[in-house]
Amino acid sequence: MNAPNTSRMIELVHVNRSFKRADGQAVQAVEDVSVAIREGEFVCLVGPSGCGKTTVLQMVAGLLPPTSGEIAVAGHEIAGPGRDRGMVFQKDSVFPWKRVIDNVEYGLKCRDVPAAQRREIAQTYLERVGLAHVAKAWPRELSGGMLKRVAIATVFANGSQVLMLDEPFSALDYVTRHQLQSVLLDLWEEGGSTARRTVLFVTHDVDEALALADRILVFHSGRLIDDLAVTATRPRTTDSLLMPEMVAIKHKLLAHLGLEKPTAPLKVARS
Amino acid sequence: MPDALSSRLNAALATLDPLRVAGAVVFIAAWQLLTLLLPPIILPTPLGVAKRLLSDFWSAPSLSYYGVEEANLYANLIYTAENVAIAVVIGSVIGIMAGLLSARFNLVRVVIDPIIMTAGTVPILIAAPFLLIWFGVGRASAVCLVMFYVIVILYIFAQRAATNLDPVYEDSARTFGATPRRMVWDILVPATVPEILGGLRIALAGAWGLEAIAELLGSQSGIGKVLEVLAGATDPQGIMATLLLLGLTAMIVDAGAAFVVARTAKWSAPAR
Amino acid sequence: MSAIAHARRDRWISVAVFLSLAAVWQLLSVLYPAEAAPGEPMIAGWQVLFTNTFLSLADYWQGGLGVPSVAEGADRSYLAAFLSVLSHSLDTMGRLVIGLSVGGLVGLILGLAVSWARWTRRLFDWPLQFLRTLPLLAMVPLFQLWFGTYFIGEVMFVAYGIGVIVFAGTVNAVRNVPQIYIDNARSLGASRWTLYRTVILPAIFPAMRSTILLSLGAGWGAVLGAEYLGAQSGLGYIIVYAQQFAFLDRMFFIALLFILYTSISYWAISKLSARLLQWAPLSQRA
């Protein structure tokens, strides 16, 4: 597939988003954010609560329009949600009234993919996330971690070029979180480095960002304040996280979050 | 009895709570005890009421002397049940559609809400005498009354169900590229069915009494008419037997409705 | 638009809806001037409602207080009409209030008593469920047989209907008191009785709010139904009596009055109970 300018898969140009509070006051959730994300990059958006990272994700997903500025995906300006951009939400978005397999198929159903074909695709991805045995179950019978796997399987089955995940694992316990990080990376790396989808992953967990990302975008008060490349090779193990470059990045992130004093003056990225 | 059926029955009997059964027995025994203290013209015996119900069910010739069209209980019960069914079906369709529309379109909501909320505080009975004048004595006024009641209840339940729908499902569906038609049929309808069915069950329960009193006010047939006639004849045993029949019918229908609710909404029982 | 501006605009639209309904009514009264009897139009315009119709209600004044009744040959007067409306309203409201109080109190006490232990709850379960399923409005003839059609009959009927609702509501509310409150109090050494007084009673109040509002609605319906079927006074009596002569205008006047009373009572109880429940987490305010 030859899209124009695939080196810039997602592009934000001077994007702003403001809200009106209940009392009429304006709140600037996102301020003048410009960034270009390459195809196949795994990008983590990091920052304290209320820094605008989720709002940026929702704008790229097309669920919220920017107050000003442009957002382009694969060279085209976006106009609302679409099949090219799949999203895993923070809340459980698996439809409780459909069985697990019907949920995974749903995106394909919306595309009018024939029943037998979409059943096969859905079944494959359920196996890849280790849930083939609960294909016929109701979502209410599943644990939180299992529901997240279903959501991930759904979004991969749908074949979106861009994947967005909004703090998907924040409500899960330590062990489940790490298991799901592996599941996500396995699915993402499938097919080799040329067929990888572009991923935007919002998290407030610095360690999670370091384990997953090629690139970390740091947000604060609605502004993009830093853009860090994470060069450690994959697969990332506990030891990778102890490498000096990684530790340096972690210090920078913790300083941005206000948890540590910066050792060197922090560079703030310019658009 | 075939094996499957008898084992099913045994399983059902095993889940019966002996204390609850005892409670029912104590209730009837207390009733019987009271009849020793009160004259039969005030309180007939439980056995007398039961026997009267069974005999009058198929044939009660005395009823015809008082102008009741069908001189037995079952035909009048059917008349009442028909009216309830018509009113509930039509009323719920209107109420559900209006309720869902009001959740989707703010303009619909602000126009209809004040009317429904006022109608919700006022007993729907206030409309009964007006309906009697407009439609005269007969089915139409009773059906209309119960229908208004059902519309109000289902409107409230449908609106609440649609409003409580977590926006995350809609957002998720949009990212899959769901068309507006799919949004209604794949998301809105299945998600709101349990709560709406719950409202339907509640509306059904109240409909019986409303239908009965509408018939009491002006009808030639039905359980209400029978009650009116028996009251005029100062027949407490007959009245209690008829009330028992109405109560049992309401109970059976409610059990059936509960069964339907459980089957269609089996995805929604909280399990985690 | 901010949320506050939204709410204000919505309120204006509600007012507009009622005003336009009133205007439609007035239009209809001009288009259909048919009368059931001279001076008693079927669709009475607002100007008629507040003059002639109101005046005609003096017919229902039974006399006394120095104002003679129309039945005894006196002319209709606004004073008599006012007294008539007042006394019948008080009759209806009196039946409602006494019935609600008696039924509510008895229902609450029985509900708390039955919730004392699991075995008592199970024992009373089936009879209670049965009484709940028996349609209340169908039982008017039975109560009239037992207690007559005067004041006490209506009151007992309302009390029974409310009693069953409150009984069931109380049992349910006690069952849903979070076990953790009870465990907490017990571990602090509360006796059974203290537990009831200081933990159960306040804890059930949020859940009881919906039961209270339900009882209010059911109570108005019950008192109206009882008055339709044989009372000698009250607003329901007037409506049914007027209906027999097809005096739609009088029926409409009384109906409007009734709507006013029920709306105000509902709003008042709703606001009052919300005030008393300021401590409860939002999710529990039924």
Mean pLDDT of C275-281: 81
pLDDT of residue A67: 92
Does A118 lie at the interface with B, CB-CB under 8 angstroms? no
Is C253 a domain residue?
A: yes
Per-residue pLDDT at B73 exceeds 80: yes
pLDDT of residue B191: 92
Does A91 lie at the interface with C, CB-CB under 8 angstroms? no
Does A24 lie at the interface with C, CB-CB under 8 angstroms? yes
pLDDT of residue B49: 92
Q: Among A60, A63, A97, A105, which would you mutate to test the B interface (most chain B Cβ atoms within 10 Å of its Cβ)?
A: A97
The encoded tokens of residue C110 equal 């029985």
Is C32 a domain residue?
A: yes
Report the C-alpha gap between B269 and C2 in whole angstroms.
37
**Minimal Cα–Cα distance from A18 to chain C, Å?**
14
Asked if B130 contacts C248 with a C-beta cutoff of 8 angstroms, the reply is yes
Which chains does chain B touch, 3 or more C-beta pairs < 8 A?
Answer: A, C
Per CATH, the number for B68-264 is 1.10.3720.10
* Alpha helices (runs of H) in chain C, residue ranges in sequence order: 3-31, 46-48, 54-56, 78-114, 118-133, 140-147, 151-175, 179-187, 192-195, 201-228, 235-244, 248-276
Which chains does chain C touch, 3 or more C-beta pairs < 8 A?
Answer: A, B
The tens digit of pLDDT for each residue in C186-239 reads: 888 888 888 888 888 888 888 888 899 999 999 999 999 999 988 888 999 999
B169:A95 CB<8 A: yes
pLDDT of residue A94: 95
**Minimal Cα–Cα distance from A140 to chain B, Å?**
6
Is C51 a domain residue?
A: no
Reduced to 3 states, what is the DSSP secondary structure of residue C245?
A: coil
Q: Are C35 and C80 in a shared domain?
A: no
Per-residue pLDDT at B271 exceeds 50: no
Does A27 lie at the interface with C, CB-CB under 8 angstroms? no
Q: Are C177 and C246 in a shared domain?
A: yes
**Minimal Cα–Cα distance from C268 to chain A, Å?**
27
pLDDT of residue A2: 46
Q: Among B21, B121, B249, which would you mutate to test the C interface (most chain C Cβ atoms within 10 Å of its Cβ)?
A: B121
Strand partners, C41: C35
Number of A–B residue contacts, CB under 8 Å: 74
The tens digit of pLDDT for each residue in B99-130 reads: 999 998 988 998 899 899 888 889 999 999 99
Q: Quick count: other Cβ atoms within 10 Å of Cβ C195? A: 15
Average pLDDT of every residue of chain C: 86
Asked if A216 contacts A249 with a C-beta cutoff of 8 angstroms, the reply is yes
Is C65 a domain residue?
A: no
Q: Are C143 and C231 in a shared domain?
A: yes
Q: How many domains does chain C have?
A: 2
Per-residue pLDDT at B74 exceeds 50: yes
Report the C-alpha gap between B173 and B186 in whole angstroms.
9
Domain that includes residue C135, residue range: 70-284
Does A138 lie at the interface with B, CB-CB under 8 angstroms? yes
Strand partners, A19: A27
Does A22 lie at the interface with C, CB-CB under 8 angstroms? yes
**Minimal Cα–Cα distance from C13 to chain A, Å?**
20
Q: Among C1, C2, C6, C8, which would you mutate to test the A interface (most chain A Cβ atoms within 10 Å of its Cβ)?
A: C2
**Which domains does chain A carry?**
1-84+199-271 (3.40.50.300), 85-159+162-196 (3.40.50.300)
Q: In what order do the strands lie in the sheet with A76-77?
A: A26-37, A10-20, A68-73, A76-77
Considering only the beta carbons, identify the residue of C141, C240, C243 that sits closest to B239.
C141
Closest to A271 measured CA to CA, from A8, A12, A6: A12
B247:C224 CB<8 A: no
Q: For A45-49, A178-182, B70-74, which range has the lowest pLDDT when averaged over its residues?
A: B70-74
Closest to C131 measured CA to CA, from B31, B221, A222: B31
For residue A124, CA distances in Å to A128, A192, B35, C213 come to: 6, 18, 72, 54
Report the C-alpha gap between A235 and A212 in whole angstroms.
9
pLDDT of residue B269: 64
**Minimal Cα–Cα distance from A232 to chain B, Å?**
32
Give the distance from CA A198 to its chain's centroid.
Answer: 9
Q: Among B168, B176, B196, B264, which would you mutate to test the A interface (most chain A Cβ atoms within 10 Å of its Cβ)?
A: B176
**Minimal Cα–Cα distance from A59 to chain C, Å?**
21
B186:A106 CB<8 A: yes
Q: Are C142 and C37 in a shared domain?
A: no
- Residue in chain C nearest A26 by alpha carbon: C2
The tens digit of pLDDT for each residue in C44-79 reads: 778 877 777 787 887 888 777 767 777 777 777 788
The encoded tokens of residue B243 equal 């009330």
Q: Are C103 and C141 in a shared domain?
A: yes
Closest to A181 measured CA to CA, from A194, A191, A167: A167
Q: Are C101 and C228 in a shared domain?
A: yes
Q: What was the ipTM of the complex prediction?
A: 0.87
For the question of whether the overall pTM of this predicted structure is more than 0.80, the answer is yes
Does A79 lie at the interface with C, CB-CB under 8 angstroms? no
Strand partners, A202: A45, A166
**Minimal Cα–Cα distance from A24 to chain C, Å?**
5
Reduced to 3 states, what is the DSSP secondary structure of residue B224?
A: helix
C130:B247 CB<8 A: yes
Is C79 a domain residue?
A: yes
Considering only the beta carbons, identify the residue of B172, B193, B267 that sits closest to A140.
B267
Q: B269: buried, middle or exposed (CB in 10 Å: 19+, 13-18, 0-12)?
A: exposed
Q: How confident is the model at residue A265 (pLDDT cuts 50, 70, 90)?
A: low
pLDDT of residue B2: 67
User: The tokens 């399923």 sit on which residue?
Assistant: C133
The tens digit of pLDDT for each residue in A53-91 reads: 999 999 999 999 999 999 999 888 898 898 889 999 999
The encoded tokens of residue C47 equal 């100007």
Q: Are C33 and C87 in a shared domain?
A: no
Asked if C104 contacts C161 with a C-beta cutoff of 8 angstroms, the reply is no
Does A23 lie at the interface with C, CB-CB under 8 angstroms? yes
- Residue in chain C nearest A23 by alpha carbon: C2
Q: Which B residues 26-45 touch C at CB under 8 Å?
A: 26-27, 42
Mean pLDDT of C89-108: 95
The full DSSP string for A115-151 is HHHHHHHHHHHHHHTT-GGGTTS-GGGS-HHHHHHHH
Q: How confident is the model at residue B171 (pLDDT cuts 50, 70, 90)?
A: very high
pLDDT of residue B264: 85
- Of A232-236, B59-63, C164-168, C185-189, give the range with the top mean pLDDT: C164-168
Cα separation of the two ends of chain C: 29
- Residue in chain B nearest A95 by alpha carbon: B169
Q: Are C136 and C11 in a shared domain?
A: no
C126:B23 CB<8 A: yes
**Minimal Cα–Cα distance from C76 to chain B, Å?**
25
Per-residue pLDDT at B231 exceeds 70: yes
B177:A139 CB<8 A: no
Q: Are C187 and C133 in a shared domain?
A: yes
Mean pLDDT of A193-212: 90
- Residue in chain C nearest A24 by alpha carbon: C2
Q: How many helices (H) and strands (E) does chain A have?
A: 7, 10
pLDDT of residue C96: 95
Q: Are C38 and C177 in a shared domain?
A: no
- Residue in chain C nearest B231 by alpha carbon: C141
**Minimal Cα–Cα distance from C189 to chain B, Å?**
31
pLDDT of residue C3: 67
Q: Which residues of B touch C119 (CB under 8 A)?
A: 19
- CATH of residue C214's domain is 1.10.3720.10
The tens digit of pLDDT for each residue in A121-165 reads: 999 999 999 999 999 999 999 999 999 999 999 999 998 889 999
Q: Are C177 and C280 in a shared domain?
A: yes
The full DSSP string for C50-83 is IIIIHHHGGGG---BTTB--GGGTPPP-HHHHHH
Q: Which residues of A touch B187 (CB under 8 A)?
A: 95
**Buried b or exposed e, range C42-57, using 16+ CB within 10 angstroms:** bbbbeebbeebbbbbb
Q: Are C241 and C110 in a shared domain?
A: yes
B23:C125 CB<8 A: yes
Does A93 lie at the interface with B, CB-CB under 8 angstroms? yes
- Residue in chain B nearest A151 by alpha carbon: B172
Q: Which residues of B touch C248 (CB under 8 A)?
A: 130, 133
Cis preceding linkage at A235, omega within 30: yes
Reduced to 3 states, what is the DSSP secondary structure of residue B245?
A: helix
Q: Among B19, B27, B113, B126, which would you mutate to test the C interface (most chain C Cβ atoms within 10 Å of its Cβ)?
A: B126
pLDDT of residue A1: 45
A20:C5 CB<8 A: no
Per-residue pLDDT at B272 exceeds 50: no
